[in-house]
Structure 1
């Protein structure tokens, strides 16, 4: 299936070409497909700040290339580019890169430079490392797609209806996606009749990015309001709800796009299995539980104009929510599958060096 996914790939959110990072502006979809050629760190950080890049993995990967662009610019100007990496990482954090991801990127860059031969060109090493981080993300996506499809087939081998929320797709990653990669794979394997998507309010990632991605690849899609997803489960014979994640706590709690929690509650009631698809790097063993540690619920204003709002009403605007581990049927990572994730199972998963 890996080869079939590679051959069918139609959608990417960014590409490194001719010494520049070319980024598809997700905020303009689906009406316009606008690509921006970024030749500097400031150009990339500007796109991050205004939401042209969405998704945790995509933000990190674009930031890796941005660090390279910043180092090149400092070197061309005769500056200390190695000392500037920390400054540039701080600029990317201000634009939306999570601090823990910025620290990880810097660690990867410094470790790669430390391993390089004395005669190696340092900026070429940084470029190679950015490519490597990007390629490893793509390979992880392919592995998760394979495992997720095998899981779907093992429970019901015929064509079925799947459901998702948010946009855990190719544009949110280095390619293929997490949850949407499984849905793409199910389509290629003849296991998908239709994919139902919630609009994913208030940012509408489902109705805009996810729906556009899947339609571009010839997949049958139905979009509903988030409030109608329980009804869709009941009347459309949905077998799986497949979602991505922003972070996963040590006990298996999942920080996801807003609406994931209520989706998981409805799924349990209707006998729909919930599959969370996420790279193992998102598992944070330092976070004891999501309820105790995931306070970064973001801020996404409700989609009403000022004239449509009722004065004197408090607006509740979280961008993310926490789904308790006991609502998760399966967690799919590039290292393997966990049924009913808990502390011991997640710790064991992270100890694996290779896919099982």
Structure 2
């Protein structure tokens, strides 16, 4: 299946060329395909904050390249570049507080910097590390796709209907996607008849991004309002809900796009299996449970307008970006290290002790 997935690769959201980071602006898709050039760390931080680039893995990859731009600029300034870099690390870390992959990538870049040898070129060394982070994410996507397809095949191998939320595809990662990677793989294996996509208010990542990705690969897709999900689970023969994750606590609680929690509750009520697909870097063993995960809130104007058109009354707004799905609502977590069914603290600890898939 790996070769078949590679042959279908059509979407790329991050490109590092000639010392410049290029990001596909996800705010204007699917109507425009505009690439933004980031030449300094502040530009990368703003791209993350403003959601020009989004998705846990993609944010981490962009931040890694952002640190390459930062070290190049600090050295050119001729100051104490090593100490000055702490400001750049903090700038990127503050851009989006919930996604664990952002902090994982920054910590990996920091560790590589700390192990820098006296005669080594800091820019070249960090560039190689950022490229490695990018490439390893793509490989992880391929592995997760295969593992997720195996899980679906084991429970039900016939063509089926799947529901997904937000966008956990190529646009959100360095490769084929997490949740959408599994869906792509299952479709190639003849196990997906159609995919229902929640529109995902207020940024409409489902209708603008996920539907666009699936259409590009000629996978049958049906778009629905978020509020239709329970009815669809009841009436449309859904066998799996498959989503990504922004952070997974040590006990298996999952922080993901707002609306995921209620989707998991509805899935359990209707006897529909619930799968979370995310790289192991998303698992935060230092966070005991979902109660300890910082959940980002954004400006209320995002709910009061669609694009540039005001649609809401002048009212106070609560606009959380993420919610937490308790582990007891999750059937399986799929990572590149392996799968965890009915996740809990002991199972995730065992998974994270693995150095590689086995």
TM-score scaled by length of structure 2 = 0.92
CA contact (8 A) 1:300 1:319 kept: no
SS at the partner of 1:123? helix
SS at the partner of 1:180? helix
Could you tell me which residue of structure 2 aligns to residue 37 of structure 1? 37
Could you tell me which residue of structure 2 aligns to residue 200 of structure 1? 200
Cα separation, partners in 2 of 1:196 and 1:101, compared to 1, 3 Å: closer
Deviation at 1:303, TM superposition (A): 3.1
Cα separation, partners in 2 of 1:300 and 1:270, compared to 1, 3 Å: farther
CA offset digits 1:32-87 (Å, max 9, x no partner)? 10011222223222322321011121111101101101211222343333223212
SS at the partner of 1:28? coil
In structure 2, C-alpha distance between the alignment counterparts of 1:315 and 1:154, rounded to whole Å: 44
Could you tell me which residue of structure 2 aligns to residue 334 of structure 1? 336
Q: In the alignment, is residue 87 of structure 1 matched against residue 87 of structure 2?
A: yes
In structure 2, C-alpha distance between the alignment counterparts of 1:20 and 1:215, rounded to whole Å: 30
CA contact (8 A) 2:67 2:109 kept: no
CA contact (8 A) 2:101 2:247 kept: no
Could you tell me which residue of structure 2 aligns to residue 298 of structure 1? 297
In structure 2, C-alpha distance between the alignment counterparts of 1:106 and 1:324, rounded to whole Å: 27
CA contact (8 A) 1:49 1:95 kept: yes
Could you tell me which residue of structure 1 aligns to residue 320 of structure 2? 318
The 5 A counterparts of 1:64-79 are 64-79=64-79
In structure 2, C-alpha distance between the alignment counterparts of 1:100 and 1:246, rounded to whole Å: 6
Could you tell me which residue of structure 1 aligns to residue 158 of structure 2? 158
CA contact (8 A) 1:300 1:318 kept: no
Could you tell me which residue of structure 2 aligns to residue 20 of structure 1? 20
Cα separation, partners in 2 of 1:117 and 1:3, compared to 1, 3 Å: farther
Deviation at 1:277, TM superposition (A): 0.7
In the comparison of the two structures, how many residue pairs are matched? 354
CA contact (8 A) 1:179 1:244 kept: yes
CA offset digits 1:305-331 (Å, max 9, x no partner)? 4964345x5433221111111110111
In structure 1, C-alpha distance between the alignment counterparts of 2:275 and 2:311, rounded to whole Å: 37
Cα separation, partners in 2 of 1:110 and 1:256, compared to 1, 3 Å: closer
Cα separation, partners in 2 of 1:202 and 1:235, compared to 1, 3 Å: same
Cα separation, partners in 2 of 1:202 and 1:339, compared to 1, 3 Å: same
Cα separation, partners in 2 of 1:103 and 1:178, compared to 1, 3 Å: closer
Deviation at 1:21, TM superposition (A): 0.9
Deviates more, 1:122-131 or 1:33-42: 33-42
Could you tell me which residue of structure 1 aligns to residue 216 of structure 2? 216
In structure 1, C-alpha distance between the alignment counterparts of 2:115 and 2:78, rounded to whole Å: 24
Q: What stretches of structure 2 of length at least 5 have no aligned partner?
A: none
Deviates more, 1:51-60 or 1:300-309: 300-309
Cα separation, partners in 2 of 1:285 and 1:42, compared to 1, 3 Å: closer
Q: In the alignment, is residue 309 of structure 1 matched against residue 308 of structure 2?
A: no
Deviation at 1:196, TM superposition (A): 0.6
Deviation at 1:343, TM superposition (A): 1.3
The 5 A counterparts of 1:118-129 are 118-129=118-129
Deviation at 1:105, TM superposition (A): 3.9
CA contact (8 A) 2:98 2:246 kept: no
CA offset digits 1:260-315 (Å, max 9, x no partner)? 1111111112221000111122222232221x21341423635334964345x543
